Structure 1
Amino acid sequence: MSTTSEQTTDRRPLHERVAADLRHEILSGVVLPGTVLSAAELRRRYTTSSETLDQALELLREERLVTRQAEAPDSVILKHRQRTMRPSKSVAPSDPGQPYRWIVEASKTGARVNITLLEVKVLPTAPAHVARALRLTSGSPVLLRSQLLTFDDEPAELANAYLPLEIVRGTAMMEHRKIRGGISTLMAKLGYPPRRCVDSVSARIPTQEQHALLRLPGNMPVLHTLRVVYSDHDRPVEAYDTVEAGHLNEVQYEVSQAL
């Protein structure tokens, strides 16, 4: 379905609206990989000029969703680039000798995955949202471990893990090195196994730092998740603040109910 400027209250420029419709069709699978988009057909569909259409397609090229044909002024759908991640699969500690569960699950997509540790430092005062999540008193310190996760060398997720300093002080968590099996594995060894977690998910406009680290195109929103991990006696022991490119990632949760 096409929408003209007379039919909508959407105040975005027309080329952004056209790109939004086509992006939705690509990512939802309405338009299949390899489909040729005829420029003439798209101009008729949206009752727009060649210049406006070129601007719309250029946005999608920046996102690597379409590419221009060398022999024709059309564009071809590259592929369905949206990744489905299942956060619940990464909660449990890793099996002995195995890498972090996120790497195991992400590798099942066939991509080359990697984690780069960006920063490890003590924050004298926990950010307000972290203090609330971890039920810390005002002015309590936390340890921050920041890392960048990539798929095929493309940034996929920026993750900040916050941990109560009273729990991790003097452990390997304080060192600037990766933790074999991930944070949950070491926390379990310290006597704080994960029992449940609560995820709060929202769409946001990225900060300058997030935009740069994730190499985002244009004004693409990000998917923000705050995960709080609870251990025995329902004590919150970990808070994960993660950001992912909104046009490349979807999050899937599975809920089972005993009958």
Structure 2
Amino acid sequence: MTVPRTEQDAHDRRSLHERIAADLRDEIMTGDLAPGTGLPSTAQLKDRFDASNATIQKALQLLKDERLVVGRAGASVTVRDHRQLTVRPAAYMAPAADGEAYPWLAETAKHGGEARSRLLSVGEAAPPADVAAALGLPEGGTALLRHQVLTLDDEPVELVHSYYPLDIARGTALMERRRIKGGTPALLASLGHPPRLSVDRVSARVPTQEQYEALRLPGDLPVLRTLRVVYGDGERPIEATVMAKAGHLYELRYEFTPDQP
């Protein structure tokens, strides 16, 4: 039986400084407060939110910790060029051409800065239940895991766990602890498993301990968790990847055309 939420349940129970930071963060993310723009003065924020000076300063400190604004107490606070990345998932599906960088690195480089991937581990592992189901593994089944963190200007922005069926991975470069030239889509294609379809399931979640530490998250910010399943010929799943992105650094862009009758 579903218990209806009461009006009291729906009340925002966050601390006032967290609510103020949330409103200002949204204005920064949407561009209402553009990079280089000064935030309203402390006096203006006090009037707007009916808050004390100490509460306003706590809210601003949250935004400073998130590297969205910069400034000193008693001085003007300015919106930083926070480089929120607009990601086009469809751009990552095609294998890289000979001599070209892995699509994530090439796409991210368009925003400026230096993008890198750092491989953390490679080995056989039991995947999460949703990954196991996506790959069609039996109960207790394992897959090859390639675990890496992606960085922009040496700051971690995405934690990646990629899983591959063992019968595809065995005896290939997927099993080696080294980066794969051109990325795994190019390698899979060379192995006779060209990517044909990619399906994303995206959710916003409270970060796990691993995600919190690996991404150096500054506070109670959500992560965007994407489960991406890549299918080859015959709709066979050939890769399942769990990507955790810092929620305040990313937005996802999907492009659609209307279904034809």
So what's the TM-score if we normalise by structure 1?
0.93
Moved more, 49-58 or 94-103: 94-103
Hey, what's the Cα distance between the residues in 2 that align with 1:87 and 1:116? Answer: 20
Q: Return the offset for 1:57.
A: 0.3
Residues 197, 16 of structure 1: alpha-carbon distance in 2 compared, 3 angstrom cutoff: same
State the SS of the aligned residue for 2:113.
coil
Query: Mean Cα displacement is larger for which, 188-197 or 78-87?
Result: 78-87
Kept in 1, the 8 Å contact 2:83–2:111? The answer is no
Output the CA distance in 1 between the equivalents of 2:94 and 2:37.
41
SS in 1 for 2:95: coil
| 2:200 is aligned with 1:199 | yes
CA contact (8 A) 1:116 1:148 kept: yes
Other-structure match for 1:129: 130
**Cα distance, 1:257 vs. partner?**
3.9
Amino acid of the residue matched to residue 26 of structure 1?
I
Instruction: Write the mapping of 1:79-158 to structure 2, written as runs, cut at 5 A.
Output: 79-123=81-125, 125-158=126-159
Matches of 2:168 and 2:128, distance apart in 1: 18
Query: Quick one: distance in 2 between partners of 1:28 and 1:75?
Result: 18
Return the letter of the residue paired with 1:196.
L
Letter of the aligned partner of 1:248 in structure 2? Answer: L
> RMSD over aligned Cα, in angstroms?
1.6
Q: How does 1:166-205 map to 2 (within 5 A)?
A: 166-205=167-206
What is the deviation of 1:111?
1.8
Instruction: Identify the residue that residue 55 of structure 1 maps to in structure 2.
Output: 58
Name the counterpart of 2:45.
42
Please list every run of 5 or more consecutive structure 1 residues that lacks an aligned counterpart in the other structure: 1-7
Question: What residue ranges of structure 2 are gaps of 5+ in the alignment?
Answer: 1-9
Task: Summarize deviations over 1:44-93 as a string: whole Å, max 9, x none.
Answer: 100110010010000000001111158x4331111243110111101111
Aligned to 2:5: none
How far did 1:161 drift? 0.4
Alpha-carbon offset, residue 228 of structure 1: 0.2
* Deviation of 1:139 (Å): 2.6
Which of the residues 75, 82, 97 maps onto 2:77?
A: 75
- The count of aligned residue pairs is 251
* CA–CA distance in structure 2, aligned partners of residues 31 and 97 of structure 1: 40
Instruction: State the 1:258 CA deviation.
Output: 6.8
Report if the CA contact (8 A) 2:67-2:82 is conserved.
Answer: no
**For residues 177 and 62 of structure 2, what CA distance do their matches in structure 1 show?**
38
How many percent of aligned residue pairs carry the same amino acid? 52
SS in 2 for 1:105: helix
* Matching residue of 2:17: 15
Q: Aligned with 1:43: secondary structure?
A: helix
Task: Check if 1:247 corresponds to 2:248.
Answer: yes
Q: 176-185 or 34-43: which moved more?
A: 34-43
Q: Aligned residue for 2:7?
A: none
- Cα distance between partner residues in 2 of 1:85 and 1:234: 25
**TM-score normalized by structure 2?**
0.92
| Residue 258 to residue 205, structure 1, CA distance change in 2 (3 Å) | closer
Q: Matches of 1:235 and 1:26 in 2, distance apart?
A: 42
